[in-house]
Structure 1
Amino acid sequence: MTQGYTTHFSPRFSETDGLGHINNTVIPVWFEAARDPIFKIFVPSLEISHWNLILAGFSVDFKAPTFYGSDVKVVTSISRIGNSSFEVHQKCYQNDELTAEGRTQMVHFDYETNRSQPISEGIRAELKQWLVD
């Protein structure tokens, strides 16, 4: 079991809102970018023509403001693995303070049949490396 993997972001001035905070639309974009290593488990080349995942839903809880001028750390882990779906759990930290937490439901999907498909044992084993309680 792991604590997850870490991705770092440097907030850009253009990502701030009128109150001087990082805009609430930015953190879900950072979370998506931090999911690339998970995407590579399913599609190592990241070629869209081979894509086999869909995002079924996500939620973000904002815990504290995130600001311009100080780097951000996003920690990504897996919180649940089902038959054809899994949940990604992510936390955003700035200066060691939790500023946002998100959960994303992903589905292993066959675009030709337009249906979910079971996650193979090989992929399941790779996902389990990132599984946290």
Structure 2
Amino acid sequence: MTNFSFQFSYRVGVADINYGGHVANSAVLNFFQDARIAYLENLGPYSEIDLGGCGIIMPEAHVFYRQEMFLGDQLNIGVRSTHLKRSSWLMEYHIERAGELTAEGETPLVCFNYETRKPCRIPSEFRRSLTVFEGLPL
């Protein structure tokens, strides 16, 4: 998996499977979230609710399903951040099983102050960690 700065391993469990016998659409968004949480933890003491002064909200999500995934599949989920702006950035995901693409997607993320219930700027220390890790301009 090239051009993905972070990789997360996940084994498909029974709760991820729908009545069709394959991974449910909603489960893929959960895969993205698990990988996103691990990515943020990898950058430092960060989480979805604390980037060092604010959290994040996700105004939309895009998922592109390429192949079915099944119970017990070992998945490798690549995560990267791009399009860094003043208060938001884009997180991209790439899911593979044994080197074959099964799904990909992206989620815009907006920094959000949960006390004021308003968007806010990306905290400077988090921005620095993100740009260094991804090799993005500050």
Same fold (TM over 0.5): yes
Judge conservation of contact 1:22–1:68 (CA < 8 Å) in 2: yes
Judge conservation of contact 1:80–1:87 (CA < 8 Å) in 2: yes
State the alpha-carbon separation in 1 of the partners of residues 37 and 121 from structure 2: 20
Give the superposition deviation at 1:130. Answer: 2.7
1:15 is matched with 16
1:58 is matched with 61
2:107 is matched with 104
- Give the RMSD, CA atoms, in angstroms: 2.6
Does 1:118 find its partner at 2:121? yes
Give the superposition deviation at 1:131. Answer: 5.8
Give the superposition deviation at 1:43. Answer: 8.2
Q: Deviations over 1:88-126 (max 9, x none)?
A: 000111111111111011111112222211113322221
State the SS of the aligned residue for 2:30. Answer: helix
Q: Percent identity?
A: 23
Unmatched runs of 5 consecutive residues or more in structure 2: none
How many residues of Structure 1 are paired with residues of Structure 2 in the alignment? Answer: 131
Judge conservation of contact 1:43–1:52 (CA < 8 Å) in 2: no
Q: Give runs of ≥4 in structure 1 deviating > 3 Å.
A: 37-43, 45-51
State the alpha-carbon separation in 2 of the partners of residues 112 and 131 from structure 1: 32
- TM-score, normalisation: structure 2: 0.80
Give the superposition deviation at 1:19. Answer: 2.8
1:90 is matched with 93
